[in-house]
Amino acid sequence: MRRRSVINLLKSRRSIRIFKPVSLPDEIVKLLIEVGVRAPPFYQLYSFIWVKSFEKREKLAELCRVEAVKNASVILLACGDLRRFSRMLDMLEHKHILSSDKHPVETIISIFETALAVENIIIAAESLGLGSVILDCPLLYAQSIAELFQLPRGVVPLALICIGVRGESPPLRPRLPLNIVLHEDTYREPADEELKNFMSLLDKHMEYENYVKKYTGKDIKFVDYIKAKTELTKEIEKENETLIKYLRDNMFRI
């Protein structure tokens, strides 16, 4: 396989949402997880569910309603896992933090470690010439997904990683300018104008890419798509309450 420098690879990576429906050898998945866990860990507060069953994938696709879930060669469910570490600490027979009502540091570490491992997996997949996309739908349907994969208490589904053979070649998507995300010594509040300019650039890019139509089938402007996704509705408030309760019941407590 063609080898690319890490910097070039990072600079050119795009999320891929359209895949060719082909299968990949199991060894590739094992290799991806092997390098995923090489990301810097503290306690390794994560678990990955490899979705191999056709029925489970169908159910996942029904819940998430995303085409990538149907066609990707590999679907991995990335979970934050406070359960395993809590059991290890129980074995040390001391009064430990995970038995308490709140453990903000460990909760954040779990999410952080999972994200680092996910990024390693994505970059490794890219280096093998494969494409990938992260989906956040597991968080929206946490309870149903936990039931589908029999996740025990303390194991929380955070994201899906869809990996496969690219069926599209989208352009590089814009990022905030470096002078907005990089601060020297003190935090610099960007001017409204700078933020507006970026939003306008993003909107133009997405229009040019035909992003919303291509991935959602909707005939609306990107800005309206983002507004719809982030609108504070009564329904969202209710969903958030359900998720907060689910996270609390599953040891994810800040």
Ligand X SMILES: Cc1cc2nc3c(=O)[nH]c(=O)nc-3n(C[C@H](O)[C@H](O)[C@H](O)COP(=O)(O)O)c2cc1C
Q: What is the DSSP letter of 97?
A: G
- How many residues belong to the site for ligand X (CB under 6 A)? 10
Residue with tokens 């979705």, as numbered in its chain: 51
Any contact of residue 135 with ligand X (CB under 6 A)?
Answer: yes
Could you say whether residue 173 binds ligand X (CB under 6 A)?
A: yes
Distances (CA, A) of 1 to 99, 129, 170, 244: 48, 8, 22, 44
Position 205 contacts ligand X (CB under 6 A): no
Out of 9, 14, 166, 243, the only residue in the binding site for ligand X (CB under 6 A) is 14
Place of tokens 């460990």: 106
Q: Is 15 in the site for ligand X (CB under 6 A)?
A: yes
**Measured between alpha carbons, how far is 173 from 167 in angstroms, rounded to an integer?**
17
- Nearer CB in complex with ligand X: 17/103: 17
Q: How far is the CB of 173 from ligand X (least distance, A)?
A: 4
The C-alpha atoms of residue 171 and residue 208 are separated, in whole angstroms, by 10
CA–CA distance, 221 with 224 (Å, rounded to integer): 5
Cβ proximity to ligand X, 89 vs 134, nearer residue: 134
Query: Minimal distance in Å, beta carbon 253 to ligand X?
Result: 20
**Token representation of residue 215:** 């991935």
Q: Which is nearer to ligand X, 63 or 134 (CB)?
A: 134
Q: Which is nearer to ligand X, 66 or 146 (CB)?
A: 66
Assess 136 for contact with ligand X (CB under 6 A). Answer: yes
Region from 30-38, 70-78, 135-143, 219-227 binding ligand X, contact rule CB under 6 A: 135-143
CA 225 – CA 222 distance, rounded (Å): 5
Interaction between residue 79 and ligand X (CB under 6 A): no
The number of helix segments (H) and strand segments (E) in the chain equals 13, 5
70 binds ligand X (CB under 6 A): no
Among 49, 72, 98, 137, binds ligand X (CB under 6 A): 137
| Smaller CB separation from ligand X, 155 or 206 | 206
Q: Where are the beta strands (DSSP E) in 105-182?
A: 131-135, 155-166
How far apart CA 118 and CA 107 sit, in angstroms, is 17
Question: Can you give the binding site for ligand X, defined by CB under 6 A?
Answer: 14-15, 17, 133-137, 159, 173
